Amino acid sequence: MKAQLAIIGGGPAGLAAAIAAHEAGVRDILILERDRECGGILNQCIHNGFGLHYFGEELTGPEYAGRFIDMLKDTSVRVLSDTMALDLTPERVIHTVNTAEGYMQIEAGAVILAMGCRERTRGAISIPGTRAAGIFTAGAAQRYVNIEGYMVGKRVVVLGSGDIGLIMSRRLTLEGAEVLACVELMPYSSGLTRNIVQCLEDFGIPLYLSHTVTDIRGKNRVEGVTVSRVDENRRPIPGTEMIFDCDTLLLSVGLIPENELSKQAGIILDPRTNGPEVYENMECSIPGIFACGNVVQVHDLVDFVSEEAQLAGRSAAEFLQKGSKPAGRLITLTGGSDVSYTLPQKIRFDAMPDRIKLSFRVRRSFGESKIILRAGDAILASFKRSHMAPGEMERVTLPKKLLNEVSGNEIILEVKEA
Amino acid sequence: MKEIICIVCPNGCRLQVDEAADYAVSGHKCPRGKTYGREELTNPVRTLTSTVRIEGAAYPRLPVKTDHPIPKAKISAVMAQLDAILARSPVKRGDIIAENIADSGANLVACRDL
Ligand SMILES: Cc1cc2nc3c(=O)[nH]c(=O)nc-3n(C[C@H](O)[C@H](O)[C@H](O)COP(=O)(O)OP(=O)(O)OC[C@H]3O[C@@H](n4cnc5c(N)ncnc54)[C@H](O)[C@@H]3O)c2cc1C
Ligand code: SF4
- ipTM of the complex as predicted: 0.91
3-state secondary structure of B13: coil
Dmax over CA atoms of chain A, in Å, equals: 67
| Highest-confidence segment of A23-32, B17-26, B32-41 | A23-32
A234 shares its domain with A356: no
Counted domains in chain A: 3
Q: In ligand 1, which atom is closest to the CA atom of A42?
A: 21
A259 shares its domain with A115: yes
Beta bridge partners, A251, equal A137, A159
Q: What are phi and psi of A58, to 5 degrees?
A: -90, 120
Q: According to the model, what pLDDT value does residue A194 have?
A: 85
A148 shares its domain with A243: yes
Q: According to the model, what pLDDT value does residue A124 have?
A: 64
| Final residue before a domain boundary, out of A268, A298, A325 | A325
Query: Is A20's pLDDT higher than 70?
Result: yes
Beta bridge partners, A119, equal A255
A303 shares its domain with A400: no
Query: Is A125's pLDDT higher than 70?
Result: no
A107 shares its domain with A211: no
The answer to whether the beta carbons of residues A51 and B100 sit under 8 Å apart is: no
**Which architecture, in CATH terms, is B49-110?**
Roll (3.10)
- Are A193 and B12 an interchain contact pair (Cβ–Cβ within 8 Å)? yes
A50 shares its domain with A163: no
When the pLDDT of each residue in chain A is averaged and rounded to a whole number, the result is: 94
Q: Which residue has the higher pLDDT, A372 or A390?
A: A372
Residue A3 CA to its chain's centroid (Å): 27
Query: Is A392's pLDDT higher than 90?
Result: no
Q: Strand A339-343 vs strand A355-362: parallel, antiparallel, or unpaired?
A: antiparallel
A126 shares its domain with A249: yes
Query: Is A246's pLDDT higher than 90?
Result: yes
Alpha-carbon gap: B98 to the closest alpha carbon of chain A (Å): 18
CATH number at residue A184: 3.50.50.60
pLDDT band at A7 (very low <50, low <70, confident <90, very high): very high
- What range defines the domain where residue A21 resides? 1-119+255-325
Binding-site residues, ligand 2, Cβ < 6 A: B 6, 8-9, 11-13, 28-30, 32-33, 36
Beta bridge partners, B70, equal B46
A378 shares its domain with A409: yes
Residues from chain A that touch B111, judged by Cβ atoms under 8 A, are: 46, 60, 62-63, 66
Start-to-end CA distance of chain A, whole Å, equals 57
Q: Which of A186, A148, A163, A172 is nearest to A249 (CA)?
A: A172
Mean pLDDT of A128-142: 90
Q: Which of A47, A53, A199 to mutate to test the interface with B (most CBs of B within 10 A)?
A: A47
pLDDT, one tens digit per residue, over A296-324 is 999 988 999 999 999 999 999 999 999 98
A69 shares its domain with A126: no
CATH number at residue A402: 2.60.40
A384 Cβ under 8 Å from any chain B Cβ: no
Mean pLDDT of B29-56: 93
What's the DSSP call for residue A268?
Answer: P
A5 shares its domain with A110: yes
Residue A339 to residue A414: CA distance in whole angstroms: 7
Query: Is A92's pLDDT higher than 70?
Result: yes
Task: Provide the residue ranges of all domains of chain B, joining segments of one domain with +.
Answer: 2-42, 49-110
Rounded to two decimals, the pTM is: 0.93
Q: Which residue has the higher pLDDT, A365 or A293?
A: A293
The answer to whether the beta carbons of residues A292 and A305 sit under 8 Å apart is: yes
Q: According to the model, what pLDDT value does residue A52 have?
A: 86
Q: According to the model, what pLDDT value does residue A395 have?
A: 95
Query: Is A173's pLDDT higher than 90?
Result: yes
The answer to whether the beta carbons of residues B57 and B89 sit under 8 Å apart is: yes
Amino acid identity, position A259: N
